[in-house]
Amino acid sequence: MNTFSEHLTDAMAQRLLDGVLDPVHDAGAEAHASQCPECAALVESYRILGDALDGLAVPELAAGFTASVLERIEVAEARQARERWLAVSVLSGVLLVAAGALLAAGAGGLAATVSGWADGLAEATRALSIGRQVLPGLLAALRLPLLAGAAAVVIPLLLGLTRLMPAPRTQSI
């Protein structure tokens, strides 16, 4: 029984021609191709193309072709290794300078920095606390204008995007 419901894809036609259809994914493809003139023409076009390509003469490679390709690969790999080494060297240098700066600053310099960070964190916590108290009332008062503004932006955007979408293709056997 033919369970195949659409036309063959290019990949299916090539697998059919090569005799390597997947029994799970391509079930019924061969039967469909024998009954569908469009799919039979697709398979035949790939057969003709394969025959034409088989008839072409294979050009001779230049002397030293393989050696030149391997040399280019080695040069590219060496360049990548140098770039990795340079990146690791720069990162190591930055880490050494940062460690030296912390050592040079000593406990007093480090304490001032940590104290500044703690003060900033305390201020941020106070701001979040105030915002947590004010924000619900503010959102309740602005709920309708926020909704209208969001709709005014989103609806035209969605309509514009739907015009960019390609029309759905319908295929049947």
Indicate the domain borders of the chain.
Answer: 1-56
**CA–CA distance, 143 with 118 (Å, rounded to integer):** 36
Instruction: Please count the other Cβ atoms lying within 10 Å of the Cβ belonging to residue 139.
Output: 10
- 30-53 residue pLDDT tens: 888 888 899 889 989 989 998 888
**CA–CA distance, 13 with 32 (Å, rounded to integer):** 11
Burial of residue 21 (CB within 10 Å: 0-12, 13-18, 19+) is middle
Q: What is the pTM of this model?
A: 0.36
Mean pLDDT of the chain: 84
The encoded tokens of residue 115 equal 């104290």
